[in-house]
Chains A and B, each alone.
Chain A
Amino acid sequence: MAAKKASGISPANAAGKNVLRAITTTAEDVQRKIMARKKPTMNFPVRSLANVKYQPQRGFFEIAGRKKERTLTVNTVKTFAQTLRMIALSKELIQNDDIATKREAYYVSKNWEDARFSEQPESDTVMDDVEAFFAVNREQLGFIPEEKGGDVAGKLVVLDRDRDSGKMLRIDCTKFGSGAYSIPISVETLDFETSASFILVIETAGMFQRLVKHNYWKKADCILVSMGGVPTRACRRFIRRLADFKKIPVYVFVDGDPYGITNIYRTLKVGSGNAAHLNEYFCVPQAKFLGITPQDIVDYKLPTHPLKDVDIKRARDAIKNDPFIRHYKEWVHAIEHLLRMGVRAEQQALAKHGLNYVIDTYLPEKLRHPERFLP
């Protein structure tokens, strides 16, 4: 329980009470305005990269405070109705201690006749708005994502509880053989035991498989985590709690391209613009960028592909608009370097020098100089 306190988030049921109170207050406010023959208003934080600020001592994207006011008018009546019904659904879920996936919530809306959503992205947007409105994690509203959290292997024991008996379970992540432990959607109640000296976070499942197969964690004394693309909230939260708990460094190993740097790594480290109200918990400020750096492409003579138009656009956009990238000259230089070369290199490109070159040469060489990792 002490661990939970340290993580800075309160238990779900306690939070549930607060959320319920907030929901009721909001509804009462709307009702009061209407009965006073006034147009009700709700204020939502703007969820975009343009409305976040980055302070390295805080370590994550914080919401900058711009809000959009949604006044109930003829033009907004549909969204307003849908938002309120989504809030009502959330209240029902919390009261019944139940959960609904985003997709399930979308299907529940099919009962709402004219107010139903025609596509899931519409319901997801409303759900994200509600989440930001109450400034809580969507799990606290009873909504859970479908997405998988990520895979873990290496020198770690996860302490979980049996669902029925409540008995403590010790999950040893060294004992999954060629498989891996799967990060659950909610990680708040987990505890950890580990003696590893660092966490290596990997972008692709392919590279993760290679490192697991050759028991790299044993050799390097580490915990391996596979993100499988942009890390989910659960994955970010898991790594954060683990790193905070054991005070061990986090090294990130992704593709050397704008997507790997500005989407995957940046989201892991400081969070996203879309859920800025929650980044405080869903980020890993201690993460460092191991590779593949643009300089690695030169140093290791990696085979490359030309940057696509979307890559170039993403890179230029990051230099111009991403508060995190803009804060670090090293990153601006690195991305400009990449743009100058006009190429990108994948993690697997190291296979050019031999399939296990990454294990025998690349990682050991890089890990000898963690001070050289990009921020």
Chain B
Amino acid sequence: MGRCRSGRRNPIIRTKSKAAKSSAKIGLSKQAKEKMPLQLNLLEAAAEQGKSADHARSHLSADSAQSVAVEPPELPVSPVPTTRQTRSERRETAESMASRQREISVSEFFTKNRHLLGFDNPQKALLTTIKEAVDNSLDACEEAGILPLLKVDINQLAEDRFRVSVEDNGPGIVKTQIPKIFGKLLYGSKFHTLKQARGQQGIGISAAGMYGLLTTGKSIVVTSRTDPGKPAHYYEIQIDTRKNMPQVIIDKILDWDAPHGIRVEIELIGTYKKGRHSIDDYIRQTAIANPHCEIHYNFPGGEGTLHFPRASNALPLEPREIKPHPYGIELGALIKMMKETPARQLGAALQRDFSRVSARVAEEICRVADLRPSANPHTIVVNEAERLHKAINSVKIMSPPTNCLSPIGEEQILAGLKKEIKASYYTAITRAPSVYRGNPFQVEVAMAYGGSLPGEELIDLLRFANRVPLQYQQSACAITKAVLGIEWRSYGLSQSKGALPAGPLALFVHIASVWVPFTSESKEAIAPYPEIARELRLALQECGRKLAIHIRAHKRAAEEEKKKSYIEKYIPHIGIALREILGLTDKAETELVAALKLVLERSRSKESSQE
């Protein structure tokens, strides 16, 4: 970055406006700076890489693709003595460096940094590929109001080579969009909206295709049909990593028996394993958190297809899209919004572009910021924007609307748990929505206890964000931290210091939010915002109390049962012994046993009434 010197004034505005210009193409929305630190990292990293790129080509045209356009170097104005210029210690000139400075496409960047997207190792690559495809399918089906029916196939071609296929009954994708969606990174519908969805940034499935291409040279194969009356389209697509553009290898019409939906096939190098981080577990957990979905799952070494039936015909409530809440907006994003707003006056712009800003609140913000409500928002300058930003955070504004959230719901969670986990007791609670940094979120906790669950081991903690299972980075996650922070012993479970509790328990924790604050792009762990940590704690405690009641009642009943069976079992032996010693008759023995039973039954009921 040090080489990108520019002597202009007001660099913030300049950079922002430049970024704004290209943002339309690469998907840097008005929320991008705030919500997605990756974007910033990406820009920086891209510039960084540009410095060392080998290709001495320069792409400076404004409309070339998604990257940071490096400033054209200014001519050296200070004349340096020629004698010194020829000295060997000055090895580079601005011009010679300029010849190597070039843009980096996001595809190239992620090819080098694929661990950021969950392709760190072969096992994870296979899981991430399936996961991205399944998440997309579920999102699409729900958006279209279709009960999802998924077919997931993992076909092992060689020791480390797999062909995966994910098919859904969703709305399909129109022909013209297919290449871009599957052959271009950061292309999608979800990034620009503030609404609860599984996918967030439009990287996943194309990155999976890119990984497949990189490791096997095979194209991503997409079959799509949008309507039974229309033909099915078959595409083989490759991603041109240098340009981040799709290359269509084959484009044809196909006979397909599905009325509508998508099938994605990717061939890749991977590893199929069982266990905590397995695809099997991902599918099972997905089935739990999405009881409205039906999955047929075919895996290597499996005996036929594994069927996860649908437990509920109720589609999740359609989450609404909301405008950003003023709390939590960042300065850069605020400036951009003000520049781009169609409103002519500052006050109106605040009301129009933010949620929960009434005329009165807008006026209050302007007053605190010492700005006229009637000022033109398009001409806002940096120091004015700073005052506005400060003012927003000092004015009391109502919490954002929470109808943008679509929790799974207690009933549905229970249905999901009951069909996949055989336990003797189930409980679930959905907390009321809450807000962190201007983003609404909601916590749900459920428990399955007893039954066939292993009693001595640590509990099975199932983490979910927007209905997607989180399988990696357990210890870094806010959910795990919240669970560790609970005194489980007071809820009837054993727990060693600093560890998860032990007992026959599957603990289900779900966070739904318009923007789940993941700690990284691979979406594996949730950042511990204090508001989130608090809601998690309260939800866990509430569920814990219910569990404790059950455990105690269960223990009491078992104790009672044991005592009763003790009496039945051992009293006859006292009779036998006394008969043998004293030579009692059968009648005397029977009487004795009956009397003793009476004595003990009476004392037992006395004991339990004292408790």
Contact = CB atoms under 8 A, between A and B. Distances in A.
A88 interface: yes
B592 A115 contact: no
Given A77-B570, A114-B569, A30 B578 contact: yes
A23 interface: yes
A35 B581 contact: no
Nearest to B571: A77
B596 A78 contact: no
Contacts of A113: 573
Contacts of B607: 74
Interface stretch (B325-333, B536-544, B597-605): B597-605
Given A28-B582, A78-B570, A35 B592 contact: yes
B331 to A, nearest CB: 67
Contacts of B411: none
Interface string B391-416: 00000000000000000000000000
Contacts, number: 87
A92 B592 CA distance: 21
Contacts of A87: 577, 581
Contacts of B276: none
B595 interface: yes
Interface in B581-600: 581-582, 584, 591-592, 595-596, 598-600
Nearest to A28: B582
A324 interface: no
B289 to A, nearest CB: 46
B563 interface: yes
B598 A78 contact: no
Contacts of A80: 570, 574
Contacts of A115: 569-570, 573
Interface in A1-55: 23-24, 27-28, 30-31, 34-35, 37-39
Contacts of A357: none
A176 interface: no
Interface in B559-573: 563, 566-567, 569-571, 573
A34 B596 contact: yes
Contact of A85 (B576, B598, B599): B576
Given A38-B599, A73-B603, A85 B573 contact: yes
Interface residues of B, number: 25
Main secondary structure of the interface of B (DSSP, over half): helix
Given A74-B566, A114-B570, A81 B577 contact: yes
Interface residues of A, number: 30
A88 B577 contact: yes
Contact of B595 (A23, A35, A75): A35
B594 to A, nearest CB: 10
Nearest to B602: A37
Contact of A84 (B563, B578, B591): B578
A135 interface: no
A74 B605 CA distance: 11
Contacts of A30: 574, 578
A281 B574 CA distance: 33
B560 to A, nearest CB: 10
A112 interface: yes
Contacts of B600: 39, 72-74, 77
Q: Which of B567, B570, B604, B607 has the most CB of A within 10 A?
A: B570
Nearest to A80: B574
Interface string A104-129: 00000000111100000000000000
B599 A74 contact: no
A84 B603 contact: no
Contacts of B566: 74-75, 77-78
B581 A23 contact: yes
Interface of B: 563, 566-567, 569-571, 573-574, 576-578, 580-582, 584, 591-592, 595-596, 598-600, 603-604, 607
Interface of A: 23-24, 27-28, 30-31, 34-35, 37-39, 72-75, 77-78, 80-82, 84-85, 87-88, 91-92, 112-115
12 contacts: A27-B577, A34-B599, A77-B571, A81-B571, A81-B573, A81-B574, A81-B577, A82-B573, A84-B581, A85-B576, A88-B576, A91-B581
Closest 7 CB pairs of A and B: A84-B577, A81-B573, A88-B580, A27-B581, A115-B573, A81-B570, A114-B569
